[in-house]
């Protein structure tokens, strides 16, 4: 359950069922980012946690040990019970495949989910109001979307209906009955959550780390943690002049259409793009749609309905020229 602050991936390979979600992630202890060409070591127990050095791994072990043990137990359970990972219904992927699709989908749309969650909290009175009244979990219901003619586009494997903020205790209470392993995972992550929160505590704009529960209607759930701030200043998503409602519509449209936000270069703000199919679908790489989107009059002077039409047109043009 890593904190969502690692560098954004731009290359995805459908079918990769490894547990390591972002191979360019930050060190789990010191939050150091990898330099170009540098490869961090990962925990061989859980195959999830990344570390910049053996020293950081040893220093973080007391925090990581409970979650590492849980992950190893979970892996052993699935290996011993192949029926547990079989497709839940006809036409659906196996649980392991669904897990990998969910991992890639949430990573691909991480900026859009962050913008959507922030805008939703703004519409509810602001980040501080939502997160300080009582601990919350953001529940993101998803529905599996069957592959199109080009195969599995990792940006289009799920559809989003809405998202809701639920009291943490209610989520844990429901999980105790329906998903006991989920409750175990939450308890095992206590030390890691406290350590992650401490990484951001010196930032005056930091409010809290929000647990996000991505929940497909069939298949495994996924927990992530996203640092939340009073405003988007300094964040990866540029502040837009639209209302919170317009931002909710925009980010929802990005996710629905498969529009992927990524920075085109170092220190550049994210721009809308798409996933380009390569090697007969064995690899998908991000490509920009256009670089000056947030100052382009075709975008800035348009209504949300017109913007969605513009996105569809740009996406169609890019796919035709591929």
pLDDT digits 0-9 by tens, 153-210: 999 999 998 899 999 888 888 876 777 677 888 888 888 788 878 888 888 888 888 9
Q: Does 194 fall in a domain? A: yes
Q: Does 154 fall in a domain? A: yes
Average pLDDT, the chain: 84
Segment 44-81, tens digit of pLDDT:
888 888 899 999 999 999 888 888 888 888 778 777 76
Neighbours of 263 (CB within 10 A): 17
pLDDT (mean) for 141-153: 88
Looking at per-residue confidence, does 250 or 23 come out higher? 250
Residue 2 pLDDT > 60: no
pLDDT (mean) for 81-98: 74
SS3 222: strand
Neighbours of 251 (CB within 10 A): 25
Q: Does 74 fall in a domain? A: yes
Segments forming the whole domain that contains residue 60:
11-321
Q: Does 4 fall in a domain? A: no
* Structure confidence at residue 238 as a pLDDT band (50, 70, 90): very low
CA dist list (Å): 39 to 60, 61, 262, 265, 303: 18, 20, 21, 20, 44
Q: Does 5 fall in a domain? A: no
Dihedral of CA atoms 174, 177, 182, 184 in degrees, nearest 10, equals 120
Q: Does 238 fall in a domain? A: yes
Q: Does 2 fall in a domain? A: no
pTM above 0.75? yes
* Structure confidence at residue 4 as a pLDDT band (50, 70, 90): low
Q: Does 273 fall in a domain? A: yes
Looking at residue 235, its pLDDT comes to 42
For residues 95 and 66, give the distance between their C-alpha atoms in angstroms, rounded to a whole number. Answer: 24
Total of domains in the chain: 1
Contact 246, 120 (CB under 8 A): no
Residues in a beta bridge with 229: 206
Dihedral of CA atoms 312, 317, 318, 319 in degrees, nearest 10, equals 90
Looking at residue 241, its pLDDT comes to 43
């Amino acid at each position: 359950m890593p904190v969502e602050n690692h560098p954004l991936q731009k290359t995805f390979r459908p079918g990769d069922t490894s547990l390591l979600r972002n191979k360019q992630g930050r060190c789990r202890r010191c939050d150091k980012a990898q330099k170009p060409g540098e490869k961090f070591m990962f925990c061989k127990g859980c195959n999830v946690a990344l570390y910049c050095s053996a020293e950081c791994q040893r220093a973080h072990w007391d925090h990581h040990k409970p979650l590492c043990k849980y992950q190893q137990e979970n892996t052993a359970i699935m290996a011993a019970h192949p029926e547990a990972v079989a497709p839940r219904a006809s036409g659906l992927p196996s649980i392991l495949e669904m897990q990998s699709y969910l991992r890639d989908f949430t990573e691909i749309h991480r900026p859009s989910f962050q913008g959507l969650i922030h805008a939703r909290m703004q519409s509810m009175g602001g980040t501080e109001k939502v997160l300080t009244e009582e601990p919350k979990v953001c529940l993101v219901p998803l529905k599996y979307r069957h592959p199109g003619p080009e195969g599995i586009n990792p940006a289009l494997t799920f559809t989003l209906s809405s998202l809701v903020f639920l009291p943490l205790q209610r989520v844990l209470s429901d999980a105790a009955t329906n998903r006991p392993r989920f409750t175990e995972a939450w308890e095992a992550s206590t030390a890691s959550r406290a350590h992650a929160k401490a990484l951001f505590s010196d930032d005056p704009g930091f409010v809290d780390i929000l647990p996000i529960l991505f929940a497909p209607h069939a298949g495994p759930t996924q927990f992530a943690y996203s640092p939340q701030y009073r405003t988007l200043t300094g964040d990866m998503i540029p502040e837009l002049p639209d209302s919170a409602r317009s931002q909710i519509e925009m980010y929802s449209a990005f996710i629905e259409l498969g529009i992927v936000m990524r920075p085109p270069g170092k220190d550049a703000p994210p721009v809308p793009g798409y996933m380009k199919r390569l090697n007969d679908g064995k690899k998908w790489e991000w490509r920009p749609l256009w670089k000056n989107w947030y100052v382009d009059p075709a975008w800035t002077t348009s209504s949300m309905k017109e913007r969605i039409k513009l996105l569809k047109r740009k996406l169609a043009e890019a796919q035709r020229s591929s």
